[in-house]
Amino acid sequence: MLFNSLDFAIFLPIVFLLYWFVFNKNLKIQNFFVVVASYIFYGWWDWRFLLLMGFTTLASWVSGVLILEIRKKQKEPQKEKLYSKIVTISNIVLNLGILCYYKYFNFFIEAFVDAFSLFGKELNIHTLKIILPVGISFYTFQALSYTIDIYKKKLEPTRDIVSFFAFVSFFPQLVAGPIERATNLLPQFFKKRHFEYDQAVDGMRQILWGLFKKMAIADNCAVCVDHIFNNYEALPGSTLVLGAFFFSIQIYCDFSGYSDIAIGTARLFGFNLMRNFAFPYFSRDIAEFWRRWHISLTTWFRDYIYIPLGGSRVSKSKVIRNTFIVYLVSGFWHGANWTFIAWGLINAIYFLPLLLRGKNRKNLEIVAYNRALPSLKELGQMLLTFALAMFAWIFFRADSITQAVYYIKGMFNSSLLSFPENGFYVGSFILVLVPIFFVFEWIGRRDQFAIQTIGFGWKRGWRWLLYLVIIMLIFNYGGAEAPFIYFQF
């Protein structure tokens, strides 16, 4: 079920009313209703994958209960740690095994065949017709963090299976995040929740802004992007640059739009999800960009891969190793294609000089926090960081490494200085909406999302006029029910 669909527009108010007015008397029943609603939401695509998600959830819950029993019954600390480690590793291997089968099996088969073909040996091995379950990477990582945090004694295991199933399957963030930690979201299912009007209104504003980003900006940019990337060989370099620019806007508005809708929807039900984007295109270096982009995933890799490998408190050679491991794994997490690995490698190369010079934690505060405009230096830094990210996004969007290389080659020739072709535009409105969008993002950069507090000093009529204009833009320029880009991951 898509957030930008009529199905969800009907589903959400029904669930909201039942949640607050029918099942609000008993916490366990309310949590059970969350599970039912979440499984209906996820099963809307393909009910068969409900069994897979249920198995992943059950395996992680059982692992927590087993560790709890081990700690109760085992008196020897060394044996207790060993047995807990065995349970944790078993659950990790099981869940990653399922993820790898559905997401990477054909990729490894193809890579294996290609490796032998380099030596003149042709293997007659066929790939399988495997359908990738929507959101499997997200809910798998969420379940894994629970088991790992229990092993590290950051979290107490729960016997409440209903609350745990609700935690893993919580429908607002199930399909594309944020990837929640059990330490943040799971305890919220143990507490009685009360409807708060201000929280719900804030959630509605965030949903509205998320729908605007997705439907009015991202989906219209997608039409331009698809045309350019599908016809890149026949287009001038200036148009290819425009295609890379529009894709940078598309992927940000598409993914952060989903996160806004997810976080806003959760607030309607009394839950607070972690922030997933913090205006990354206003970053002054690539390290700041990665602190602000897909925060739930980058912090996941930091806490469960980078720091356990030694982080930055090891020799320079190991710091380099750790950095490349994290970025390559991050790229591979996004999909079974060499383009994603190349994208991760490029970002590692961007990040490494800052890390080695000790400047990766330089820009921690919000740019121009107490000023209306950035300085010329800050503006230059933001433009350079955006350009670096835009270049890397070409590999992310391309179908193959070959296409990415030829696309870039087509950019940097004499046609780069020509006027871009404009016959493919959906309409000149997108050239107007994108700058307006950035203005609102800049004004609201100190808040959790762009329009969180914009208009609070206005008269109510003017504020509601702003919301009405955004709604009209969504209806006028929103296209078909286009899926979110990160559904494929």
CB 485 within 8 A of CB 245: no
Q: What is the CA 469 to chain-centroid distance, rounded?
A: 28
User: d(Cα 489, Cα 297) in Å, to the nearest integer?
Assistant: 12
What tokens does 8 get?
A: 């969800």
Q: Is 294 exposed, middle or buried (0-12, 13-18, 19+ CB in 10 A)?
A: buried
With CA atoms as reference, report the closest residue to 268 among 32, 3, 17, 27.
17
Q: What is the dihedral of CA 215, 344, 487, 20, to 10 degrees?
A: -80
Helix orientation angle between 237-268 and 197-211, rounded to the nearest 10 degrees: 160
Amino acid in the structure at residue 111:
A
Would you call 334 a catalytic residue per the annotation?
A: yes
What tokens does 65 get?
A: 């209960």
The residues near 294 (Cβ < 8 Å, ≥ 6 apart) are: 177, 255, 276, 277
With CA atoms as reference, report the closest residue to 227 among 480, 424, 431.
424
DSSP codes of every residue in 69-93:
HHHHH---HHHHHHHHHHHHHHHHH
User: d(Cα 72, Cα 139) in Å, to the nearest integer?
Assistant: 29
With CA atoms as reference, report the closest residue to 173 among 95, 250, 272.
272
CB 363 within 8 A of CB 285: yes
Q: Which residue has the tokens 């992943």?
A: 56
Q: Of 126, 227, 294, 334, which is the active-site residue?
A: 334
Gyration radius from the chain CA atoms: 24
The 3-state DSSP class for residue 481 equals: coil
CB 77 within 8 A of CB 31: no
User: d(Cα 173, Cα 167) in Å, to the nearest integer?
Assistant: 10
User: d(Cα 397, Cα 244) in Å, to the nearest integer?
Assistant: 9
What is the 8-class DSSP label of residue 277? -
With CA atoms as reference, report the closest residue to 170 among 23, 36, 26, 5.
36
Amino acid in the structure at residue 75:
K
Supply the residues annotated as catalytic.
Answer: 334
